[in-house]
Amino acid sequence: MAKRKLDDREPEAGRPGPAAKAVLSIADAAGETRGVALVLHGGRADSYDPVRGRHLSPARMLPFARALNRQGGPHGLAVWTLRNRYRGWNGEDMSPVQDARWALSRIGQEHPGVPVYLLGHSMGGLTALCVADDPQVEVVVALAPWLNHKTPVQPVADRRVLIVHGTEDRWTSPSNSLDYARRADGVAASVEYVSLTGAGHFMFRRVALWNSLADDFILDAFGESTGADVSGATDALRSILPAAGTRMPVVL
């Protein structure tokens, strides 16, 4: 599949630190684009330092993007990976939310009307949940998201949501994620919460399970929305979550 970059999100005037641009790395689908996965990375509470490709937060999401491209690309799934301008959330600026909105607008320009699947880790998980109200978004997968009791659930109305959190996370709160999932239940089209026993924030432990849950959930939804035959890629998900939709949390 062809790969390309877009980086025309202009830096904001008057921001501290060096000027920075958001960058989209795009793995195009083979043939007609029938859906787009947008991958969002984590960051810090406060920082206007530019995000670099060598930073661990964006690098951590590359295996997810590559697997989605490998399994979904031949069936029409494009994978767009966003590198934010700044490393921080930055309070009321919500810098990564601005960047994700820009990325979604670019997807809308290139692929109007196709379903969009959001995948984010940590701050990227929070970002994904905040921008889920974009009209093309159908699915949100949030891995170890950075949430609190005030995180609004209305943006995920009528969306399918998967939240995965490790029990040993010391950076973001599993209990806040479970609280969010329970508040979103009845607002979202569906909510799944998976608790990974012994796993921490950075997804080093049980890495294969993190990847299977996230990518297969998106591929399963992509297949349902478009009729693409990705059943072989989602068999693992169906064995991992046999009781999906019947109880929360699922503990693995």
Identify the pLDDT of residue 252: 79
pTM exceeds cut of 0.95: no
Residue 242 has pLDDT above 70, yes or no: no
Integer CA distances (angstroms), 150 to 72, 154, 198, in order: 35, 11, 27
**What digits encode the pLDDT tens for the residues 122-132?**
999 999 999 99
**What digits encode the pLDDT tens for the residues 77-115?**
999 999 999 999 999 999 999 999 999 999 999 999 999
Residue 8 has pLDDT above 90, yes or no: no
**What digits encode the pLDDT tens for the residues 53-81?**
888 899 999 999 999 999 999 999 999 99
In 3D, which of 157, 159, 196 has the Cα closest to residue 174?
Answer: 196
Identify the pLDDT of residue 5: 72
Q: Rounded distance, CA 1 to CA 67, Å?
A: 13
Residue 189 has pLDDT above 90, yes or no: yes
